[in-house]
A and B are shown apart, each in its own frame.
Chain A
Amino acid sequence: MISAILVMAGIGLALGAILGWASVRYRVEDDPLVEKIDAILPQTQCGQCGFPGCKPYAEAIAKGEADINKCPPGGADGVKRLAELLGVEAKPLGEGLEPKPKAIAVIDENTCIGCTLCVQACPVDAIIGAAKQMHTIIADQCTGCELCLPPCPVDCISMEVVKEDVANWKWRYPVHMMKREA
């Protein structure tokens, strides 16, 4: 038992160390503005903005090469926050860019042939499974970017809209009879 805990703790520490080291070693000397923009972007890495990920889009915005209304998952709220950060006028999402309801990918485990193509496609390593093993998506880590859908040769991945339940339910904006208010 103790040794198992130690081994797990060891692995955890080692991975943490790698992660920490990687974040230092592979940090491109960052422009603080890019960082700030990137912090607002939703990190789905879906590429719907036309850039290969959130960071490249952030860089393009910082350079003034891209408009602020290209990220559908960020929605109107995201555009508003970018506008506030950059001191420009907020605007509606760009032509043809519609935010979709939050969804996560689900693998039909009966059909999966374990080819690992989806693992390679997932930008946030939310899929686990080794070669020829059934693959599973960790729901908590899936950002819903849909990048794993096209590569699957047996079309066994589908997107499931996240349903509202008791745990994620939110209080609504109060609708109350308001007599004319200034």
Chain B
Amino acid sequence: MSRQLFTFNGGVHPEGHKAESNATPIRPMPLLPRYVVPLRQHIGAPARPLVQAGDAVLGGQMIGAPEGYVSTAAHAPTSGRVVAVAPHAVPHPSGLFDLCVVIEADGEDRSIDFQPLDWRKLDPSALRNRIREMGLAGLGGAVFPSYIKLNPSGQTLHTLILNGAECEPWITCDDRLMRERAAEIVLGIEVMAHTLGVKTILIGIEDNKPEALAAMGAAAPSGMEVVAVPTGYPGGGGKQLTYTLTGVETPTGGRSTDAGIQVFNVGTAYSLYRAVYLGEPLLSRVVTVTGHVANPGNFEARIGTPMTDLLAAAGGALDGADGEIVGGPMMGFDLMDQAAPVTKSVNCLIVKDPVRFPPRPTTLPCIRCGACARACPADLQPFEMYWFSRAKDFGKAQSYNLFDCIECGCCAYVCPSHIPLVDFFRFAKSEIWEREQEKHGADQARQRHEFKEFRLEREKREKAEKFARAAEKNKEAAATTTTDATADPDAEKKKAILQAALDRAKKAKEAVTPRNTDNLPPRVEKEIAEIEARRAQAEAKTESGEG
């Protein structure tokens, strides 16, 4: 381990609180009576539901198909019956409901036949396709579909970094996973390295996890280097870990792949092992339950496990509990509804108590002390970005590289005025995104409108030309025949067809909406008459339009 390490600027050293949950092995969870599987668990387009209420499903059966490029599948966690495909509480900072498949377990826990993959023989693109169907997504938090990250797509990659830093306080799921399942993680890493064609493999683990370092070191074959990195938040941020290990800085707006480096979480490597060696889709993940609970620890929870059941498995919240955080205390968000399920992105559930998680003190004005800028690992100037975000001057905020902010929370952590800086940055970012989308929509609309005008223009011209030609012909023929210029022989027929269609539509409408036009007050009668008149008018217009 003689690798030279680089130290990124900024960062903070909050209390780790790892010991609360990392002393006991990962515990399995009992089979639950009910699971809720959201169809949008990853970044990108939600999966398209493949089942409906009443369908019987088996464990591992695909219930949501990937839709579009950036998307991945969702699967039934056990055998049973679909009771609903409907909006349901999900772990999201908004507290809004999202489309979920609710499954009632039959208690038999039967599964589909899992087919292991011969990954060395399989064509890389076929392998990626299978991984997409197995629903693999990054388990480190960003939940980006894994199959995309496993595609070098023209870029030459030379280094694969495995992120086992787990820098955020309280979270220990990767720590336990590395201690207990190092051999499997290594098998998963081999598949990654094979698919990406990389030469160097680095496994970065913070030096506050000696057991995990030892376990991974023992399991790693030659060619995989396990590196202890200094403990410090956010040492496990993708850009920060990449810099620490290689000295390569990810450019503004760029990705580490531009520099030939791909980063995966160790948990993702483990799920890749299960997918390839056992043929099992992503059905479960390790979740830390900690804080103010009776029995903190790590749990192997099926995707779709309601948070209430997860809490119960950890012995339940203790007296005086004061809400829950999904994720870590630095980057997580408050859980709005305990009915929300564990998803692929949920790595930790912290029960708050008023002592260790006191309410945020009253915000004071910014004194421009610069502490936030010194703490920022992305070398930004948070106080400037705050100033302009607060004033809703988004252009200016953006000019201070707002979009390089990784929302790590270091700035807010050190701010002596207790300003919720990250909240302002998230607000500003989503406003800017919306504007960009609106702008894009407006540009599209303008183009479509211009094209329509052009089309109408062209049609008019073509019609005119046709008439001119026809007139010419008519003139020639006029010598022999006299035509009735006004009567369109088709008019009567067209009118009849339209009338028939209108009658049909009326019937159809009556069929869906029961007729309730008897004994109506005169006001409504009048309205109906007006509508009928409008229809008649429109009808007349159609005719003249078509004639």
Contacts and interface: CB of A to CB of B under 8 A. Distances in A.
Interface in A30-59: 38, 41-45, 53-54
Contact of B363 (A143, A153, A166, A179): A179
B423 A110 contact: no
A47 to B, nearest CB: 12
A42 B437 CA distance: 12
Nearest to B94: A169
A151 B450 contact: no
B438 to A, nearest CB: 7
A171 B421 CA distance: 13
A113 B392 CA distance: 48
B505 A154 contact: yes
A109 to B, nearest CB: 10
A11 interface: no
B442 A43 contact: yes
A38 B447 CA distance: 12
B445 A174 contact: no
B539 A153 contact: yes
A115 B542 contact: yes
Interface in B502-547: 502, 504-506, 508-509, 512, 531, 534-535, 538-539, 541-542, 545
B445 A111 contact: no
Interface stretch (B150-158, B271-279, B427-435): B427-435
A115 B424 contact: no
Interface of A is mostly: loop
Contact of B542 (A150, A153, A155): A153
A125 B449 CA distance: 7
Given A113-B504, A169-B94, A26 B454 contact: yes
B161 to A, nearest CB: 30
A167 interface: yes
Nearest to A169: B94
Given A112-B505, A167-B40, A45 B96 contact: no
Given A141-B444, A141-B445, A153-B538, A171 B450 contact: no
A110 B531 CA distance: 19
B218 interface: no
Given A22-B450, A123-B449, A176-B423, A170 B430 contact: yes
B508 A110 contact: yes
A181 to B, nearest CB: 4
Nearest to B359: A177
Interface of B: 40, 46, 90, 92-94, 96, 98, 360, 362-365, 392, 419-420, 423-424, 426-427, 429-431, 434, 438, 441-454, 457, 498, 501-502, 504-506, 508-509, 512, 531, 534-535, 538-539, 541-542, 545
7 contacts: A43-B441, A43-B446, A54-B449, A111-B509, A141-B445, A153-B538, A170-B427
5 nearest CB pairs, A to B = A43-B445, A174-B423, A43-B442, A170-B430, A171-B426
